A and B are shown apart, each in its own frame.
Chain A
Amino acid sequence: MIQAFRKGLADENPLCVRLLGLCPVLAVSARLIDAFAMGLTLLAILAITNTAMSALQTHVPGRFRVFVCTAIAGSCASAADLLMQAYMPGLSDRLGIFVPLLTVNSLILDRALGFAKDSTPGMSFGDALGMGTGYLLALLGIALIREILGSGTITLVPIGGFSGTIEVPGLSQSPIRLVSLSAGTFLVLGYAKAVFDMARPPAKTNREEDKA
C-alpha cells in the first residue's frame, strides 16, 4: 500500500508524467486557493471511487463497469458540489461547473477502471491517495506559477489580520495578463511539461513521448 502511494507522487505522477485529468488544471489554476480546493476535492472523490470500484469488482460485469464508475463518481461530485455551495459559497461560485465535471475526470476513470480492476480495496485506496496527492502537488505548482506571473499575487486563506493575499512586488502592478487568460494556461502547462521532461528522462509509460 505504501508503494502504491509512492509511485503516484513521482514515477507515475498523473499530471507531470501522464497528463491525466487536464480539465480542472486548465480551468482552476489561476488562483492558488482554488487549485488547492479542487485538488483536495478530486483526491477525496478519487479515494472513494477507487476503493468502491475495487470492492465491487466481482459484482459488476465488465460492460457495466464504466456506467457504475461514473455513477459513483457522479454522486460524490454532486455531494461535494452541494457541500461547497452550502459552506464555501465564494469558492463554489469560482469553481462553478468544474466540480460536477469531476464526474468524468480522466484521472478518476483511469484509476478506477484500470488500477482498481485487479487490486484489493486497500491497495486501491493507497493508490488513490498517492495519485491524488501527486496531482494536488503538481496542480499547486502550476497554480503558483500562473498566479504569480498572471496576477502578481498569491492567494491563501485569510486568517486573523492577514488578508489572505500576498502581493509580489513589481508583478502585482504590471502582471503578465496573458498567463491568467485561458490561452496562457495551455502555454504554461506546455512549458512546465517541457521543463519537467528535461529534468528527468521520460518514463516508459508515456507513449506519446516514444512516438514523437
Chain B
Amino acid sequence: MSYIGIIVSLVFVNNIVLSQLIVGQPFLDITRDTKTSLSFGLVLCALSALCCLATWGLYHALLRPLGLGYLQTLAFIMLISGLTPLCDLVFAKTLPVPHGRLRAFFPLVSTNCAVLGICLISVRSGYTALESLLAGAAAGAGYCLALVLLATMREAMKKEWIPRPFRGVPITLVSAGLMALAFMAFDEALLQNLLE
C-alpha cells in the first residue's frame, strides 16, 4: 500500500518540479519540443531510480554504520556523477538502436538537482531499498510529466501571438506557474481519500 502512496505523492501531490520546486537547469532549454522532453524525461526517470537505489545502498551499508551521515551530500554526488558515465557505457554496449541523441542527456542528468534531490529526500525519509527505487522512479516520472506538459504547452503557443516582452523565457515561466496552480488540485486531502 505505501508503495502506491509514494508514487501518487511524488508524481502528483509533491511533484518535484511544480510543488517542491527542485528544478534542474535544462527545464527551460529542453522543453522546446515534446519529443526531446519525453526522451530526456525517460532517461532522467531511469537514472534517478538507479541512483536512488545506489545511494540507498551506499548510505545504509557504509555511511550510517560508520557514523558518517554528514558526508551524504558529497558521497552521493560522487556516486551519481560516477554512475552516470558507467550507465552511458553500458547503454552504448547493450542497446541495439543508435542512441547518440540520448547520450547527450547523460551529463545533464548527472548534474540535475532533481536526481540529487530525490536521493537525499528518500534517505532522509528513511525509505527501504524498494521504496527508494520506487521514489526515484516516481520523482523521475513526475519530472518527465512536468517537462512533457510544459513542452506541449510551448508548442501550442507557437501559433499564438504573444506580447513581445513575454516571448521566450517569460511566457514559459508563466505557463509553468499556471501548471503548478493546476497541480494544486492534487492535494493532501486527495492523497488521503485515495489511500484510506
Residues of A within 8 A of B (CB): 19-23, 26-27, 66-67, 70-71, 74-75, 77-78, 81-82, 97, 100-101, 103-106, 109, 178, 181-187, 189-191, 193-195, 197-198, 206, 208-209, 211-212
Residues of B within 8 A of A (CB): 18-25, 27-29, 70-74, 77-78, 81-82, 107, 110-113, 116-117, 120-121, 124, 163-174, 176-178, 180-181, 183-184
Which residues of the partner chain A approach B172 to less than 8 Å between Cβ atoms? 190
CB pair B78–A183 under 8 Å, yes or no, is no
Q: List 10 A-B contacts (CB under 8 A).
A: A27-B21, A27-B22, A66-B81, A71-B74, A71-B77, A78-B74, A97-B124, A182-B18, A182-B19, A182-B21
Give the docked Cα–Cα distance between A22 and B24 (Å): 8
B173:A104 contact, CB within 8 angstroms: no
Q: Which one of A66, A189, A190, A209 has the highest number of Cβ atoms from chain B below 10 Å of its Cβ?
A: A190
Chain A residues positioned under 8 Å from B166 (CB to CB): 190, 194
Question: B22: which A residues are within 8 A, CB to CB?
Answer: 23, 27, 97, 101
CB proximity of A78 to chain B, nearest CB, Å = 5
- A183-B184, A193-B170 given as contacts; is B25 within 8 A of A20 (CB)? yes
The reply to whether A19 and B28 contact each other, CB–CB distance below 8 Å, is: yes
| B113 and A100 within 8 A (CB) | no
Q: Which 9 A-B pairs have the closest CB atoms?
A: A186-B177, A190-B173, A106-B25, A187-B177, A190-B174, A212-B168, A183-B180, A194-B170, A183-B181
Q: Is the CB of B77 within 8 A of A103?
A: yes
- CB of B23 within 8 A of CB of A23, answer yes
In the complex, the answer to whether A103 meets B169 with C-beta atoms within 8 Å is no
In the complex, the chain B residue whose C-beta lies closest to that of A189 is B173
Q: Nearest-CB distance from A204 to chain B (Å)?
A: 14
Residues of A within 8 A of B111 (CB): 66, 70, 104, 106, 109
List the A side residues contacting B173 at CB < 8 Å. Answer: 186-187, 189-190, 193
Q: A100-B120, A106-B25, A187-B173 are contacts. A67–B168 as well, Cβ < 8 Å?
A: no
CA of A201 to CA of B151, assembled, Å: 26
Complex Cα–Cα for A19 and B170 (A)? 10
Within the complex, what minimum Cβ distance (angstroms) separates B188 from chain A? 14
- Within 8 Å CB of B21, what residues of A? 23, 26-27, 182, 185
Tell me whether A66 and B107 are in contact in the complex, defined as CB-CB below 8 angstroms, given that A75-B74, A103-B116, A185-B21 are known contacts. Answer: yes
The answer to whether B178 and A183 have CB atoms under 8 Å apart is yes
Q: Provide the bound-state CA to CA distance between A195 and B164, in Å.
A: 11
In the complex, residue of chain B having the shortest beta-carbon distance to the beta carbon of A193: B170
Chain A contacts of B184 at CB under 8 A? Answer: 181, 183
- A197–B174 contact, CB under 8 A? no
Give which listed residue, A21, A104, A109, A198, contacts B116 with CB less than 8 A. A104
CA distance A178 to B166 in the complex (A): 21
- Residues of chain A within 8 A (CB-CB) of B20 are 27, 182
Using Cβ atoms and an 8 Å threshold, which residues of chain A touch B27? 22
Q: Which residues of chain B are near A195, meaning CB under 8 Å?
A: 165
Contact A209 B180 (CB under 8 A): no
Query: Chain B residues with Cβ under 8 A from A97's Cβ?
Result: 22, 117, 120-121, 124
Q: Are B177 and A74 in contact (CB under 8 A)?
A: no
Are B178 and A26 in contact, CB atoms less than 8 angstroms apart?
Answer: no
* A187 vs B28: C-alpha distance when bound (angstroms): 14
